[in-house]
């Protein structure tokens, strides 16, 4: 009705929850949450599908519709497994609806997904993010269902449940002739404007008559003249379910805008339609309808959200009146307040009674107790009752612990025991609360209504419906059912009623899978990552602990279950550290700027890690509790080491009295006296000044009085990184600050900009300094620079300022109207005054260069409109660079200063492709293939053949050759055997669709002229590799896969290898190349040709086993080897050579060449670029207009 006028109102949730030492746990890997206490499932919003969710929940809570759909079996609808078969007629929409309803009924998850259903509609992700009108969806969905069910026993499902008829009559006042016309309806649309309620609107539509008289007469066919007449409408046939759409949205023709009617509009919970029907002879029960669903719209015409109030006819959910819930909370709160001071037993029972299943993890029980009472178990009860877990073990008559003691539940038979006189009243209250858990009371006098808002389901009172009569959040669609429709007793509170057997099995299996996933997730979430710092590998110096060996030996990472105790942790560390002797003390440590500091020791081996308040990523120091390396260690936060920066005077040169200011760092305990600074500097006495970083705009040194020298650093407010100034008492107190004032107030001097003359005009000055602040306008700086450079005044109309980066490159010009802060120009930086007008807001300033091998200073500059197409921009750049022809395309340079992805769509607008001012485009030779096609260079690969006996092998180094003859480039500096024939021969390019299979690619490659000469007899004898860095990289398997499934990318290159016989590699097979037979005692290593390095395999496993006590890798395809097809494996016979170094001279030369190449690239990027430009531009930010209205549609196949 209103297209996509309604845009979903939802808040975005940030995923940037990163912290130091913490692991980011991906939500997407966690299983869905179980149902809440209502035991009903919501539906997840896909971005803008709240209107769909509300309608689907209404259909789901229409039992007759749901069961009629369930009655259609696979023999009529087909099977979802056959939907991709070309000849199978699978009615996907009804099947997906069946599956969704089964999930809503039986699957233990908080919210179901509609992705499969919307996919069956033919909707894209764009459609799922766009909201539509629910009244429009209701008609389109019913139409799609009718089309999908043609030829089945459910072909009349919609007609049988929702179809009604209206008769329009005109009665001639002269001859009493009746002219009538019958109309069908699936829903009634009623007016809201100027109407008080539903019954008033129906009266106007189906009771009142329209009279034709005076100037508005009716032509009677019988009388054959204009006569007086009366027109009326009546409901002739009523459906079992009546859908009523309220016309809330209207158009104001005066203001020419849409608006929402928010006035009061009442509707009854039960309505008698007898006055509005044509035939009224039947019993009143035939005309009585009960309200069971209200779809509510919140918002206005151009934005809003849908949710639905639904009556649970079959009592499938757990429901309880809000007053009863409040009373229970008050009773529990009163009970808790009464007992919390004395009896922990009653507090724990109260907490467990509030749990839906009376079961909770033990560590969460402690957290809930802290939340309820405001004090932890350890502080309140541990001294008298012991640890929480032990307390639960001592009361088996009341608490039931699981086998692994991770969860606890309350024994229900405990309430059958006779309580003592002192506790009788409290036991009775608890027993009353436990005997009627939420939703299990059969209160038929209070209908069960729920508010279903996407994923959330909440019970509501029936009187809450009256709050939706008016306002911005008000009723939009009403659903009534005949009052005489009665549900069978076996359907009551039975979600499995009439659900097909195959769906029952699927849901049961899915629930088992969910339980397993939740158990695995709970186990994974219970693991902590601890960093163990081993005391014997540390030394104390410079005020803190520092590793005496490499970090890998001094710090070990340990993954441990947080539900286990400190005693378990200590035992695990004992087993891990086989060399440990004597006592072992575990202390919490922390890395500070000075080094590692120990804070407190962990006591209580019976405490779990959570109870000991150990966090994920905690640093644990393992030592004897007294000393480290013979030095006694002070622990605690009071003596935390502080790293201070001290400025003091030293004499420069021998015998010279010239003073210079020297900065040095020193570490002091926080509880040390400030006067210890003099001892550290070997100064007998002096003056100490502190610097306040809060006021950097002025000289802010403050002397510490002599009487405060006895105070500690912490009392003086000093912290890590604080700056202090120390003067000799022999010097004048003020002598140092004026001398070094330039250094101290250096921040104040950065209130200027340096402007260089790039206008290529003669001037006495080459550069000037212009005073400015961050609020200075760029135009004022430019005019002042022209005056101080003594340039012509005409430049004021034809010049601009361009920032200069650290490499001397001129960047995009800054607009004249911006301030320095808005233009992000830092104080103290350099700007270039260049020819050319200041940029406009609708233009782009672009750099461009020829080819993909770009050198600094080789770029050209151009100004274009941001609305220009890629093709037109290409023509302008070709013309400016003096190139001709059509065999060119544009690529965008990436952040690595390398050629990125090409711009494929020549008709695309630069602004739409996110091209911004300052971007660099590359003019690259070659025509791009059309969309959906790949242009793939094909190479011929001949594996290396080794001659002679070799001790180290290198099979993957090859050289490219584009000539017609085979050739191998010699490898310099490698003694011993050389590859006899290493080559990649260029065969040509193949242009092929992404939809084509690998087999079709092989066939096309065999048709290349260069390959015809090689006489390849069959595609089955060809092996296909991807090429990376001029080496075969990834093996492409499975001939019938489409190329797009390999994710090759637009810049992929492939090479072909000839086989001696056909092969069939499985997904877990790895193709490796070896040349030596394997002797009995060997060492093997993987080769990394891009780094010229070897990774020994067996020795690494031994190292891991020693450090982490983990099992050896079950597969070499996992880390750290990641063996894949084509990898080179070195094999060393330890009987002849026991050296574990696999490197060859070739590797050493390769590493050296890489180092020289990296230095060369770094130097080339540091070359200053001095080319100026005569025109410049910058881009503005366009406003995003409201999208056009889009119609809603559901795609259905033909089943006629």
Residues designated catalytic: 50, 305
d(CA 509, CA 502): 11
Give me Rg for the CA atoms of the chain: 41
C-beta separation of 836 from 788 below 8 A: no
What distance lies between CA 139 and its chain's CA centroid?
A: 36
d(CA 869, CA 891): 14
**Residue 718 half-sphere exposure, CB side, CA atoms within 13 Å?**
31
d(CA 785, CA 779): 10
d(CA 4, CA 1056): 52
3-state secondary structure of 417: coil
How many of the other CB atoms lie within 10 Å of CB of 318?
21
Tokens of 1039: 């001939």
d(CA 1188, CA 937): 43
Compute the residue count for the chain: 1200
Cis check: omega of the bond before 259, within 30 degrees of 0: no
Pairing relationship of beta strands 241-247 and 1093-1096 according to DSSP bridges: unpaired
d(CA 54, CA 968): 69
Would you give the end-to-end CA distance of the chain in angstroms? Answer: 29
Burial 562-596 (b: 16+ CB within 10 A, else e): bbbbbeebbeebeebeeebeeebbbbbbeebebbb
d(CA 1195, CA 360): 47
C-beta separation of 311 from 447 below 8 A: yes
d(CA 775, CA 796): 21
d(CA 1191, CA 1200): 26
Let me know the angle formed at the C-alpha of 531 by 528 and 535, rounded to the nearest 5 degrees. Answer: 140
Which class for 184: exposed (0-12), middle (13-18), buried (19 or more C-beta within 10 A)?
A: exposed
C-beta separation of 46 from 121 below 8 A: no
Burial 893-912 (b: 16+ CB within 10 A, else e): beeeeebbebbeeeeebbbe
How many of the other CB atoms lie within 10 Å of CB of 331?
15
For residue 727, what are the β-bridge partners? 687
DSSP state of 311: E
What distance lies between CA 391 and its chain's CA centroid?
A: 42
Phi and psi, residue 27, nearest 5°: -65, -35
Phi and psi, residue 797, nearest 5°: -95, -10
C-beta separation of 681 from 648 below 8 A: yes
d(CA 587, CA 618): 10
Burial 829-849 (b: 16+ CB within 10 A, else e): ebbbbbbbbbbeeebbbbbbb
- In 3D space, the residue among 208, 214, 160 whose CA is nearest the CA of residue 485 turns out to be 160
C-beta separation of 976 from 1092 below 8 A: no
C-beta separation of 1055 from 940 below 8 A: yes
d(CA 981, CA 965): 12
């Amino acid at each position: 009705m209103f297209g996509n006028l309604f845009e979903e109102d939802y808040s975005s949730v940030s995923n940037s929850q990163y912290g130091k030492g913490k692991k980011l746990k991906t939500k997407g890997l966690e299983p869905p949450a179980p149902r809440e206490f209502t035991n009903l499932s919501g539906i997840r919003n896909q971005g803008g599908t709240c209107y769909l969710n509300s309608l689907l929940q209404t259909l789901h809570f229409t039992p007759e519709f749901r069961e009629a759909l369930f009655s259609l079996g696979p023999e009529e609808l087909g099977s979802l497994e056959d939907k991709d078969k070309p000849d199978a007629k699978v009615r996907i929409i009804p099947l997906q609806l069946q599956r969704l309803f089964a999930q809503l009924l039986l699957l233990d998850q908080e919210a179901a997904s509609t992705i499969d259903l919307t996919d069956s509609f033919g909707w894209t992700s764009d459609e799922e993010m766009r909201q539509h009108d629910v009244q429009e969806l209701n008609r389109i969905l019913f139409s799609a269902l009718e089309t999908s069910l043609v030829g089945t026993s459910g072909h009349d499902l919609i007609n049988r449940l929702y179809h009604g008829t209206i008769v329009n009559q005109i009665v001639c006042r002269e001859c009493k002739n009746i002219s009538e016309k019958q109309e069908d309806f699936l829903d009634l649309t009623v007016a809201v404007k100027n109407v008080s309620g539903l019954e008033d609107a129906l009266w106007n539509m189906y009771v009142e008559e329209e009279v034709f008289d005076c100037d508005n007469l009716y032509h009677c066919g019988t009388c054959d003249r204009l006569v007086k007449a009366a027109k009326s409408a009546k409901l002739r046939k009523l459906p079992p379910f009546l859908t009523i759409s309220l016309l809330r949205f209207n158009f104001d023709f005066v203001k020419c805008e849409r608006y929402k009617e928010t006035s009061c509009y009442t509707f009854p919970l039960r309505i008698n339609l007898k006055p509005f029907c044509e035939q009224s002879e039947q019993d009143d029960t035939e005309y009585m309808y009960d309200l069971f669903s209200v779809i509510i719209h919140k918002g206005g015409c151009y934005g809003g959200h849908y949710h639905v109030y639904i009556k649970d006819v079959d009592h499938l959910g757990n429901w309880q009146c809000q007053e009863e819930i409040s009373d229970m909370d008050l009773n529990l709160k009163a009970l808790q307040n009464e007992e919390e001071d004395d009896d922990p037993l009653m507090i724990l029972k109260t907490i467990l009674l509030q749990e839906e299943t009376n079961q909770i993890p033990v560590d969460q029980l402690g957290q809930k107790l802290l939340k309820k009472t405001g004090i932890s178990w350890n502080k309140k009860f541990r001294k008298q009752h012991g640890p929480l877990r032990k307390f639960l073990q001592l009361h088996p008559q009341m608490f039931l612990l699981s086998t692994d003691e991770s969860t606890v539940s309350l024994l229900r038979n405990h309430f059958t025991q006779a309580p003592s006189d002192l506790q009788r009243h409290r036991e009775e209250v608890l027993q009353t609360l436990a005997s009627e858990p939420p939703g299990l009371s059969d209160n038929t006098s209070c209908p069960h209504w729920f508010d279903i808002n996407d994923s959330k389901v909440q019970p509501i009172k029936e009187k809450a419906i009256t709050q939706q009569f008016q306002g911005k959040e008000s009723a939009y669609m009403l659903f009534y059912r005949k009052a005489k429709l009665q549900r069978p007793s076996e359907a009551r509170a039975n979600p499995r009623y009439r659900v097909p057997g195959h769906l029952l099995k699927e849901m049961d299996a899915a629930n088992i899978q969910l339980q397993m996933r939740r158990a695995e997730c709970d186990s994974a979430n219970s693991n902590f990552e601890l960093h163990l710092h081993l005391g014997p590998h540390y030394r104390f110096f410079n005020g803190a602990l520092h590793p005496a060996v490499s970090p890998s030996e001094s710090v070990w990472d340990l993954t441990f279950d947080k539900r286990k105790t400190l005693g378990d942790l200590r035992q695990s560390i004992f087993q891990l550290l086989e060399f440990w002797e004597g006592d072992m003390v575990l202390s919490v440590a922390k890395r500070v700027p000075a080094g590692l500091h120990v804070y407190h020791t962990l006591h209580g081996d019976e405490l779990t890690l959570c109870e000991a308040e150990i966090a994920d990523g905690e640093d644990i120091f393992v030592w004897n509790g007294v000393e480290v390396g013979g030095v006694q260690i002070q622990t605690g936060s009071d003596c935390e080491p502080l790293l201070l920066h001290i400025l003091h005077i030293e004499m420069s040169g021998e015998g010279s009295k010239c003073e210079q200011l020297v900065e040095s760092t020193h570490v002091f305990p926080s509880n040390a006296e400030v006067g210890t600074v003099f001892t550290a500097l070997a100064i007998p006495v002096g003056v100490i000044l502190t610097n306040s970083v809060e006021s950097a705009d002025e000289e802010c040194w403050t002397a510490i009085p002599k009487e405060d020298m006895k105070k500690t650093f912490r009392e003086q407010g000093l912290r890590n990184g604080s700056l202090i100034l120390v003067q000799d008492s022999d010097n004048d107190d003020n002598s140092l600050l004026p001398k070094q004032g330039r250094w101290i107030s250096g921040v104040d001097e950065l209130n200027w900009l340096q402007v260089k003359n790039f206008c290529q005009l003669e001037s006495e000055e080459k550069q000037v300094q212009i005073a400015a602040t961050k609020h200075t306008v760029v135009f004022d700086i430019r005019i002042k620079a022209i005056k101080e450079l003594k340039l012509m005044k005409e430049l004021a109309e034809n010049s601009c300022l361009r920032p200069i980066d650290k490499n001397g490159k001129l960047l995009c010009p800054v607009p004249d109207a911006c301030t320095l802060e808005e233009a992000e120009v830092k104080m103290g930086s350099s700007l270039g005054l260049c020819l050319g007008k200041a940029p406009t807001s609708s233009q782009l300033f672009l750099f461009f260069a020829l080819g993909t091998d770009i050198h600094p200073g080789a770029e050209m500059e151009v100004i274009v409109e941001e609305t220009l197409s890629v093709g037109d921009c290409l023509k302008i750049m070709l013309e400016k660079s003096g190139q001709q022809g059509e065999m060119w395309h544009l690529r965008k340079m990436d952040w690595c200063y390398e050629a990125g992805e090409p711009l494929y769509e020549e008709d695309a607008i630069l602004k739409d492709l996110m091209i911004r001012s300052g971007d660099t485009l590359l003019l690259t030779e070659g025509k791009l293939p059309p969309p959906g096609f790949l242009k793939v260079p094909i190479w011929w690969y001949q594996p290396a053949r080794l001659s002679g006996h070799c001790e180290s092998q290198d099979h993957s180094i090859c050289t490219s050759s584009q000539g017609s003859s085979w050739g191998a480039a010699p490898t310099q500096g490698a003694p011993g055997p050389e590859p006899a024939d290493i080559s990649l021969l260029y065969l040509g390019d193949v242009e092929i669709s992404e939809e084509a299979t690998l087999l079709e690619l092989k066939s096309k490659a065999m048709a290349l002229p260069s390959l015809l000469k090689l006489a390849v007899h069959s595609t089955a004898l060809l092996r296909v590799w991807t090429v990376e860095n001029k080496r075969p990289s990834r093996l492409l398997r499975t001939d019938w896969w489409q190329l797009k499934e390999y994710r090759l990318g637009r810049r992929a290159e492939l090479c072909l290898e000839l086989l001696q016989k056909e092969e069939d590699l499985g997904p877990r097979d790895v193709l490796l190349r070896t040349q030596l037979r394997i002797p009995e005692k060997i060492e093997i290593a993987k080769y990394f040709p891009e780094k010229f390095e070897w990774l020994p395999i067996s020795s690494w496993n031994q190292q891991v086993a020693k450090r982490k006590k983990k099992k050896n890798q079950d597969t070499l395809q996992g880390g750290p080897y990641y063996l894949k097809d084509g990898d080179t494996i070195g094999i060393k016979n330890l009987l002849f050579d026991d050296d574990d170094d696999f490197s060859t001279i070739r590797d050493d030369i390769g590493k050296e060449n890489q180092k020289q190449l990296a230095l060369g690239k770094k130097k080339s990027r540091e070359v200053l670029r001095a080319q100026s430009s005569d025109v410049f531009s910058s881009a503005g930010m366009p406003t995003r207009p409201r999208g056009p209205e889009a119609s809603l549609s559901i795609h259905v196949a033909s089943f006629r």
